[in-house]
């Protein structure tokens, strides 16, 4: 069975994910370091993990299989999950794959170094309607692909 794992601490597309998962009757795990409000639905489970800063990432990476979907902005978590053959999508609809995860990790490190040196300020562009639409299209495409397997 396909399951969806949401790295929930800063995920802007939780509501969209719940709607798609309900349509397909897929289990969703909302994983975070502290409780977050989730729909009262047997298909949605809030998983509060405690411990280290990366406890949510560790829990997701341990649970995920090649039949699952992970939604995250965390490139290092994406890397761990891609290595387990899971499908990984960021909230703007970009899918991390074996072909692009290496450059995504390298780019993350470069940007982190530039921020530490004071060369870069700010973060990613805010979510907009186009990004949400791209996310929904990619999530639907990935679910259809996994269902065919």
Per-residue pLDDT of 48-72, as tens digits, reads 998 787 899 999 999 999 999 999 9
| Strand, helix or coil for residue 128 | coil
Q: Do 53 and 71 meet the contact criterion of CB atoms below 8 Å apart?
A: no
**Residue 119: predicted pLDDT:** 65
Look up the pTM and report it.
Answer: 0.87
pLDDT per residue as tens digits for the range 123-139 = 667 889 999 999 999 99
Name the token pair of 25.
């009757």
Residue 138: how many other CB atoms lie within 10 Å: 18
Residue range 4-13: mean pLDDT, rounded: 93
Helix (H, G, I), strand (E, B) or coil at 149: coil
Which residues form the domain of 49?
3-148
pLDDT of residue 131: 94
Condensed to tens digits (0 to 9), the pLDDT of residues 87-111 reads: 999 999 999 998 887 776 667 565 6
Domain count, the chain: 1
Residue 140's CATH number: 3.40.50
134: nearest Cα among 13, 2, 45:
13
pLDDT at residue number 52: 80
Exposure string over 81-120, b if 16+ CB within 10 A, otherwise e: bbeeebbbbbbbbbbbeeeebeebeeeeeeeeeeeeeeee
Three-class HEC string of 48-117: ECCCCCCHHHHHHHHHCCCCCEEECCCHHHHHHHHHCCCEEECCCCCEECCCCHHHHHHHHHHHHHHHHC
């Amino acid at each position: 069975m396909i399951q969806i794992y949401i790295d929930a601490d800063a995920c802007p597309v939780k509501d969209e994910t719940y709607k798609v998962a309900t349509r397909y009757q897929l289990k969703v795990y909302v994983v975070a370091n502290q409780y977050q409000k989730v729909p009262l639905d047997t298909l949605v489970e809030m998983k509060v993990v405690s411990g280290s800063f990366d406890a949510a990432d560790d829990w997701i990476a341990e649970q995920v299989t090649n039949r699952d979907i992970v939604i995250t902005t965390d490139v290092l978590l994406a890397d761990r999950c891609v290595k387990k053959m899971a499908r990984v999508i960021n909230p703007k609809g970009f899918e991390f794959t074996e072909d692009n995860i290496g450059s995504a990790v390298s780019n993350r490190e470069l940007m982190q170094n530039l921020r530490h040196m004071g060369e870069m300020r700010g973060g990613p562009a805010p979510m907009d309607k186009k990004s949400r639409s791209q996310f929904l299209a990619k999530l639907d495409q990935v679910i259809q692909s996994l269902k065919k397997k």
